Amino acid sequence: MAHVGVVGPSSADERELDEAESLGRGLAERGHVVVCGGLGGVMEAVARGSARAGGTVLGLLPGTDRADANPYVTVAVPTGLGELRNGLLVRSCDVVVSVGGSWGTLSETALAVRTGVPVIAISGWILTTRDGREIDDGPRSVSSAGSALDLLDRMLDA
């Protein structure tokens, strides 16, 4: 069992929401704990997928009210830290999977890379050098939740 952080925009498009829900389902089927920001968008979709498959979802909320969590969160932790909770999320995970991109997603991706937490990106931020080369220890890009789960399985087996 691993703790897998799933990050992405609260204003996500339908494809991102579908991928996040599929990802949550696959993580639950593998027995992994989903760690997310606990609110809407990608966070709610991954939580819904995990919860419907019997998984556990830890929501690290930015505010102080546990009731702000989406209805699929198993354990809601109101941090009162705002966006600073991104550091807690990253540091509590074995791997982070980003779905889509937003400024908050970019900050979580950067924190993960900076602290050595592997990142898998589904249509998300890919870090490159000025001349366009992907950064070696940056996010590993995949095209779907299924591909992300396959890569996650290989990473955790290594």
- List the chain pLDDT tens, one digit each, 158 residues: 999 999 999 999 999 999 999 999 999 999 999 999 999 999 999 999 999 999 999 999 999 999 999 999 999 999 999 999 999 999 999 999 999 988 888 899 999 999 999 999 998 777 677 887 777 778 898 999 999 999 999 999 97
Query: What's the CA gap between 93 and 111, in Å, rounded?
Result: 12
Give me the amino acid identity at 104: G
Residue for token pair 């639950």: 28
Return the exposure string of 139-152: e unless at least 16 CB atoms fall within 10 Å of the residue's CB, then b.
Answer: bbbbeebeebbebb
150 CB contacts (<8 Å, ≥6 apart)?
none
Question: In sequence order, what are the beta bridge partners of 58?
Answer: 35, 75
Let me know how long the chain is: 158
Query: What's the CA gap between 13 and 64, in Å, rounded?
Result: 28
pTM over 0.75: yes
